[in-house]
Amino acid sequence: MGYKNPIAVSFTEEMWDKGNLKTADEILSKDFIDHDPVAGQLPGLNGYKQMVMDFRNAFPDLRVKNDDVIVEGDKIVVRWTAHGKHSGQLMNIPPTNKSITLKGIDILLVQNNKIVERWGEFDALGMLTQLGVLPQ
**Residue 125 belongs to domain with CATH number:** 3.10.450.50
Residue 135 lies in a domain: no
Higher pLDDT, 3 or 2: 3
- Report yes or no on 1 lying in a domain: no
pLDDT class for 11, splitting at 50, 70, 90?
very high
Distance between alpha carbon 60 and the CA centroid of its chain, in Å? 14
Domain holding 123, by residue range, is 6-130
Which tens digit of pLDDT belongs to each residue from 98-111? Answer: 999 999 999 999 99
Number of domains in the chain: 1
Task: Indicate if the pLDDT at residue 2 is higher than 80.
Answer: no
In-domain check, residue 136 = no
Q: Please give the DSSP secondary-structure letter assigned to residue 26.
A: H
Determine, yes or no, domain membership for 100: yes
Q: What's the pLDDT at 91?
A: 87
Separation between Cα atoms, residue 57 and residue 87, nearest integer Å = 8
Counting Cα atoms < 13 Å in the Cβ hemisphere of 61 gives 10
Residue-wise pLDDT tens digits, 46-98: 999 999 999 999 999 999 999 999 999 999 999 999 999 999 999 889 999 99
Predicted TM-score (pTM) of this structure = 0.92
User: 1 pLDDT band (50/70/90 cuts)?
Assistant: very low
Q: Looking at the predicted structure, is the pLDDT value of residue 122 above 70?
A: yes
Question: Which H helix or E strand runs over 125?
Answer: helix 124-130
- Sign of the C-alpha dihedral computed for residues 69, 72, 76 and 82 taken in this order: negative
